[in-house]
Chain A
Amino acid sequence: MSTQSTDPPHVRLGLFLRDNPMIPLLIFLFLLIAALEVMRPGIVIPIRAGRDGLISTFWVGNLVKFAIPLAMLAACQVLTMLTAGIDLSVGVVATVAAFVCATLSSIWGATPAVLIALSTGVVVGLVNGFGVGIVRVHPLIMTLGTGLVATGCLQVYQRMVINAGTEIPGGLEWLGIGRTFGMPNGLFLFIPFAIFILWLMRYTGFGRILFALGSNERAASLSGVRAWHVYLALYVLSGVIAALAGLLYLGMIRQTSLSLANPLLLPSVAAAVIGGTSIFGGRGSYAGAIIGALILRVLDTMLTLMQMPEGARTALFGLIILAVTALYVRITGTR
């Protein structure tokens, strides 16, 4: 290679890891699982605790099950971060979609309820896309604002339907809590979804444009890209994904609340960042984000086992985001 040989070793290592984020991520995941097994022998490998089975399908299934909604919300962050954005309204959107679906399906039936729930994601996404793409508000502020307004709307809506009762569509319940061969049925939704996102990022013009906008918006527009089209489509897509994740989560938790999926927001950002997606745009991997979601779930289990209080967990997630980003800035030298 023409210039690579002159790089100092830490830069070369950094570049290698940046190009192949999956390797250290998988190693880290398995190390964490090993540590978990050491902390509580038998949790992953039941045979060590004198029970049947080499690997606990129940544990693995549980891990996967709770990682799915997180990984779906992480898709929103990966896609928006590719353009140097972020979507902080996903938690609220997921909550709204779940709430709307649960309340409407008792009135109008499952299918219209699901469609209307998904369309709430479209609406919030349109507002976000308008603010980010056309008015050019910083995505962080914009999505935070729409999240706040959407929460207000949800409260008003709740008072309107307070007597309607709730019902969780059977299909969602099947996806949420059902299992096939020990693995959660959510995978029937998630595997096609993940393939779609990976394909979108890699093999479509839209994916290319997302990377291009995040690397250099001026260059993209010089090549004829109308940025606001992309932002509008992107944030609508992000809203729909968030709504979809909310529906799946509804089937999983089987109850509604006004802050159902809100706690998933921060971990979704963390999963994307851990997975090697740059918050500065132009670089990201959804496969990495999926591993990131699994890592966070294992970490979560460990923290629970250690009886770590809620506050410490929140603070830790914040520190992880900061540390990974700072590390990224350091090893690559990019801003």
Chain B
Amino acid sequence: MSAFVRKHGWTLGLALLLLALTVVTRLIQPTFGVNGFESLARAALPFAFATAGMAVVVIVGGIDLSVASMMAVTGVLAAVLMERMAGVPALVIVLAAGLVMGLINGALIVLTRVPDIVVTLAMLFVWEGTALLILETPGGATADWLEASIRGFFPVEGIPKALLIIGGAIGVVWLPIRRSKLGLSIYATGSDERAAFRSGVAVGRTKIAAYGLCGLFCAMGGLSLAALTGIGEPVPGPYLLASVAAVVLGGVVLGGGKGGLLGPLIAVFILRIIRTILTLMAIDPNVTTIVEGTIMVAVVMLGTWATTRGARR
């Protein structure tokens, strides 16, 4: 039991913080209930997927600056395709596109030997341009069922569909991988690349796979963006910094090898609920942006500080 607490202490702490913040929200706005929670979860969807993708590449020891751009590409792709063809094939194409974009990122990093931060910075612009090529101005339309699938509750009142989708996606994609040899290799590569290589891990392939996973999660993020707005938006949203902040806050160490996906996902909800609280307090939305940005920068700073201190020991 104590070993469990030691290993997951950070995540437990985050969960308690989230609970406390929920209570604070209730105090400010007594009517904040399941419906408020539902819209919170819905708004958190794209952030959650961006964070999940980012978490995987940070665990493997990298970083992907192109998450927001990949979400933009998949978002507009979904909106354009669903206008023209049946929803399910469109869905599959979008997910495949995300996977491929991620694999391209990973392959470029491994093949060119240029550091991931530089490659994904360049790819940020490449994917952003791609999104603009697919759809120059916001437009297209998503299938009605897509929007319906994230709105409301299932199976009972109180459990938002959006939350279920996040849980389902993580459960179907990440959990089997984490338990497999690939998951082990991802952690090994992030923890000590040379030792992993010497233990027989195919480091290059592991990295490519991790970036592919990130792309896949970004495609889900893009889909949820399209579902939220009903159209495709080619200009990338503010998901990069938010996902890095959530990943760091969630206990995944920049540099790799440590942490999981649960912590970062709770962190997403913490960051979102802070926004809700600020809104409920009737603070100017622009000021909210500043406060939010400052919190994120501060979180990243604290995380980096803790990492460099840890490395010195």
Verify that A and B bind, or say they do not: yes
In the complex formed, the residue of A with least CB distance to B240 is A144
Q: Given A136-B305, A322-B119, are A314 and B129 also a contact pair (CB < 8 Å)? A: yes
A329 touching B126 in the complex, CB below 8 Å, given contacts A131-B297, A131-B301, A145-B300: no
Q: Quick check: A309 and B132 within 8 Å, CB to CB?
A: yes
Stretch among B156-164, B187-195, B286-294 lining the A interface: B286-294
Bin the interface of chain B by size: 35 or more
Determine whether the beta carbon of B125 is less than 8 Å from that of A318. Answer: yes
Q: Does B265 contact A (CB under 8 A)?
A: no
Residue in B closest to A334 when the chains form the complex, CB atoms = B113
Residues on the A chain within 8 Å of B293, using CB: 145, 148-149, 152
Instruction: Please measure, in the bound complex, the distance between the C-alpha atom of A155 and the C-alpha atom of B244, giving whole angstroms.
Output: 23
Contact B286 A135 (CB under 8 A): no
Contact B300 A148 (CB under 8 A): no
Q: Give the complex CA separation of A266 and B69 in angstroms.
A: 14
**Which B residue's beta carbon lies closest to that of A280?**
B115
CB-CB under 8 A from B115, the residues of chain A are 280, 335
- Is B128's CB under 8 angstroms from A314's CB? yes
A315 and B126 within 8 A (CB):
yes
Chain A residues, Cβ within 8 Å of B119: 322
Confirm or deny: A62 has a beta carbon within 8 angstroms of a beta carbon on chain B: no
Contact call B118/A144, Cβ cutoff below 8 A: no
The interface residues of chain A lying within 8 Å CB-to-CB of B244 are: 141
Residues of A within 8 A of B241 (CB): 141, 144-145, 148
Question: Residue A146 at the B interface, CB < 8 A?
Answer: yes
A312 at the interface (CB under 8 A from B): yes
Binary contact track B30-62/A, C-beta < 8 Å → 1, others 0 = 000000000000000000000000000000000
Chain B proximity mask over A49-80: 1 for CB below 8 Å, otherwise 0: 00000000000000000000000000000000
Give the interface size class of chain A: 35 or more
- Residue from A312, A313, A325 within 8 A of B118 (CB atoms): A325
Nearest CB in chain B to that of A328: its residue: B114
Q: Does A253 contact B (CB under 8 A)?
A: no
The reply to whether the CB of B304 lies closer than 8 angstroms to some CB of chain A is yes
A266 surroundings in chain B (CB, below 8 A): 125
Which chain B residues border A138 with CB–CB below 8 Å?
A: 117, 254, 304
Q: For chains A and B in complex, what number of residue pairs have CB atoms within 8 angstroms?
A: 128
Partner of B121, one of A152, A310, A314, A321: A321
Contacts of B113 in A (CB 8 A): 326, 329, 335
Whether A326 and B128, one on each chain, are in contact in the complex, defined by CB atoms closer than 8 angstroms, is no
- Evaluate contact between A137 and B304: CB separation under 8 angstroms: yes
Is the CB of B308 closer than 8 A to any CB of chain A?
A: yes
Q: Which single member of B123, B134, B254, B296 contacts A318 (CB below 8 Å)? A: B123
Which residues of chain A are near B121, meaning CB under 8 Å?
Answer: 140, 269, 321
Q: Contact check, B129 vs A318: say whether CB atoms are below 8 A apart.
A: yes
Contact among B133, B301, B305 with A315 in the assembled complex (CB-CB below 8 Å): B133
Q: Which residues of A contact B290 (CB under 8 A)?
A: 149, 152-153, 156
Q: A145 is contacted by which of B254, B289, B296 (Cβ under 8 Å)?
A: B296
For B238, the chain A residues whose CB sits under 8 A away are 148
B262 part of interface (Cβ distance < 8 Å): no
8 A Cβ contacts from A291-326 to B: 309-319, 321-322, 325-326
Q: B216 in the interface, Cβ–Cβ < 8 Å?
A: no
In the complex, A53→B283 CA distance in Å?
Answer: 62
B125 contacts A325, CB within 8 Å? no
CA distance A144 to B297 in the complex (A): 9
Nearest chain B residue, comparing its CB with the CB of A311: B132
Looking at the complex, which one of A135, A318, A329 makes contact with B112 (CB distance below 8 Å)? A329
Does the CB pair B297–A312 fall under 8 Å?
Answer: no
Q: Interface residues, chain B, CB within 8 Å of chain A?
A: 65, 108, 112-115, 117-119, 121-134, 136, 234, 238, 240-241, 244, 254, 284, 286-287, 289-290, 292-294, 296-297, 300-301, 304-305, 308
Of the A-B pairs whose beta carbons lie under 8 Å apart in the complex, a sample of 12, sorted by A's number, is: A138-B117, A144-B240, A145-B293, A148-B296, A149-B294, A266-B125, A311-B131, A311-B134, A318-B126, A325-B112, A325-B122, A326-B114
A residues bordering B, Cβ < 8 Å?
131, 135-138, 140-142, 144-146, 148-149, 151-153, 155-156, 159, 266, 269, 279-280, 309-319, 321-322, 325-326, 329-330, 335
Pairs of residues from A and B, 8 with the lowest C-beta to C-beta distance, nearest first: A315-B129, A311-B132, A318-B125, A314-B129, A322-B122, A152-B290, A152-B289, A311-B133
